[in-house]
Structure 1
Amino acid sequence: MKPRFVGRLGLADAVTISNAALGFVAAVATTVDVELAARILLLAAIADALDGVVARRRGGTTVGPYLDSLADVASFGVTPALLVAMAVAEAWGLGGTRGLVALAGCALFVAAAVTRLGLYTAYDSDAAETEGVQTTLAATILAAAVLAGFTSPIVLVPLVFLLAGLMLAPITYPDLHAQDAVVMGIVQAAAILLAGRMGRRLVGEIGEGFAFGLLFLSLAYLFFGPRFYWRRD
Structure 2
Amino acid sequence: MHSRFVVGRLGIADVVTVGNAGLGFLAVALASVSPGLAARLILLAAVADGLDGVLARRYGGTDAGPYLDSLADVASFGVAPAMVVVAAVRAAWGFDSLRVTISVAIAALFVVMAVTRLGMYTAHDADSAQTRGVPTTLAATILAAGVLVGFTDPFPLVGLTALLAVLMVTTVPYPDLHTQDALVMGVVQALAILFPHRLGGGFAFGLLFLALAYMFLAPRFYWGR
- Bucket of the pairwise TM-score, normalised by the shorter protein: over 0.9
Alignment of 1:26-37 (within 5 A): 26-37=27-38
Q: Secondary structure at the match of 1:173?
A: strand
Alignment check: 8 A CA contact 2:21 2:75 kept? yes
Per the alignment, in what secondary structure is the counterpart of residue 31 of structure 1? coil
Instruction: Report the counterpart of residue 51 of structure 1 in structure 2.
Output: 52
Give me the whole-angstrom Cα distance separating, in 2, the residues matched to 1:169 and 1:56. 28
How many angstroms does 1:41 deviate by?
Answer: 0.7
Indicate which of 221, 224, 229 corresponds to 2:214. Answer: 221
Q: Deviations over 1:102-149 (max 9, x none)?
A: 111101000000000000000100000000000000000000001111
Matches within 5 A, 1:173-188: 173-188=174-189
For 2:7 and 2:77, locate their aligned partners in 1 and report how far apart those are by CA, in whole Å: 27
Offset of 1:4 from its aligned partner? 3.1
Match of 1:208 in 2: 201
Counterpart of 2:26 in structure 1 is: 25
Q: Quote the residue 1:3 is aligned against.
A: 4
- The separation in 2 between residues aligned to 1:177 and 1:63, in whole angstroms, is 25
- C-alpha contact 1:94 1:103 (8 A) present in aligned 2: no
SS, match of residue 6 in structure 2: coil
TM-score, structure 2 normalization: 0.96
Are 1:87 and 1:153, in contact at CA under 8 Å, matched by a contact in 2?
A: yes
Q: Measure, in 1, the Cα distance between the counterparts of 2:95 and 2:163.
A: 20
Q: How many residues align?
A: 224
Q: Note the 1:1-233 alignment, pairs <5 A.
A: 2-196=3-197, 199=198, 206-231=199-224
Give, in whole Å, the separation in 2 of the partners of 1:6 and 1:79: 25
Deviation at 1:170, TM superposition (A): 1.4
Code of the residue aligned with 1:38 in structure 2: it is A
Q: Secondary structure at the match of 1:45?
A: helix
For residues 186 and 219 of structure 2, the distance between their equivalents in structure 1, rounded to whole angstroms, comes to 20
Residue ranges of structure 1 left out of the alignment (5+ in a row) = 200-205
Distance 1:150 1:6 in 2: 40
Give me the identity figure in percent: 63
Distance 1:6 1:141 in 2: 33
TM-score for the superposition, normalised by structure 1: 0.93
Q: Which moved more, 1:89-98 or 1:121-130?
A: 89-98
Counterpart AA for 2:217 = F
CA distance in 2, matches of 1:127, 1:51: 17
